[in-house]
């Protein structure tokens, strides 16, 4: 998503570059009245950007005021600043400390030209989205491993009971909800509940067979 006001302030050729670059990288471009200059949704994560394309050495206070306002609204905010001249770079460094910015809160990304700046924006958004997906996959794998370990432990305990084999243990397990082994009970209460389920199952089996 791109801020309509920010778009109208840019040269048409730069907007054409942005549109082509996003299309080549499988992103859709929508113009909407948002607070940041653009927002990317990647891997379930929203990343917001302020893109300063014209650094005014004589009037930079509004930029930092806007940054302070938006960093309280967006958890993932980056500020990309185009600084093609040494004078602009020196002005940025001086102003950064003058207006009390904290390192990394938010992260500022100085660039030498507009095209490089937008490419940085896309790379940052993509990398943050990739990290988000990897974290989600890692958590899913950990939960799956915990579930498998819980099942293995359960089968070992149940089959240690005289007269109970793997078939019986698996039949008992079918009574449990699918997320049962993810419930954070402590060691003893977990197996106590397993055995309660087992006794209930055996009781039903005996009743069905008139034992």
Same-domain check for residues 117 and 177:
no
pTM for the structure as a whole: 0.64
Domain containing residue 78: 2-136
Q: What is the pLDDT of residues 21-50, one digit of tens each?
A: 999 988 889 999 999 999 998 878 899 999
Q: What is the pLDDT of residues 88-137, one digit of tens each?
A: 999 999 999 999 998 889 999 999 999 999 999 999 998 888 877 776 56
Beta-sheet strands, E only, within 18-135: 31-32, 38-42, 45-52, 77-82, 107-111
Q: What is the pLDDT of residues 43-102, one digit of tens each?
A: 788 999 999 999 999 999 999 999 999 999 998 999 999 999 999 999 999 999 999 998
Same-domain check for residues 129 and 28:
yes
Same-domain check for residues 54 and 109:
yes
- Is the four-CA dihedral 176, 181, 185, 188 of positive or negative sign? positive
Same-domain check for residues 131 and 165:
no
Instruction: Indicate which CATH number applies to the domain containing 24.
Output: 3.40.50.10130
DSSP conformation letters of 129-197: HHHHHHHHHHHHHHHHHHHHHHHHHHHHHHHTSTT--HHHHHHHHTTS-TTGGGS---HHHHHHHHHHH
Per-residue model confidence (pLDDT) at position 154:
59
């Amino acid at each position: 998503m791109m801020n309509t006001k920010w778009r109208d302030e840019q040269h048409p050729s730069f907007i054409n570059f942005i549109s082509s670059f996003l299309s080549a990288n499988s992103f859709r471009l929508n113009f909407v009245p948002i607070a940041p200059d653009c927002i990317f949704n990647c891997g379930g994560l929203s990343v917001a950007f302020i893109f300063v394309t014209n650094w005014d050495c004589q009037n930079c206070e509004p930029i930092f005021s806007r940054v302070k306002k938006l960093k309280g609204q967006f958890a993932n905010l980056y500020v990309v600043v185009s600084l093609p001249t040494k004078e602009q770079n020196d002005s940025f460094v001086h102003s950064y400390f003058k207006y009390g910015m904290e390192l990394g809160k938010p992260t500022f990304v100085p660039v030498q030209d507009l095209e490089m700046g937008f490419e940085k924006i896309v790379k940052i958004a993509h990398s943050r989205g990739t990290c988000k997906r990897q974290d989600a996959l890692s958590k899913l794998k950990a939960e799956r491993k915990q579930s498998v370990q819980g099942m293995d432990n359960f089968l070992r305990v149940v089959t240690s009971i005289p007269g109970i084999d793997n078939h019986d243990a698996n039949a008992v397990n079918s009574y449990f909800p699918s997320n049962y082994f993810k419930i954070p009970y402590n060691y003893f209460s977990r197996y106590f509940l397993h055995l309660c389920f087992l006794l209930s199952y055996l009781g039903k089996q005996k009743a069905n067979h008139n034992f």
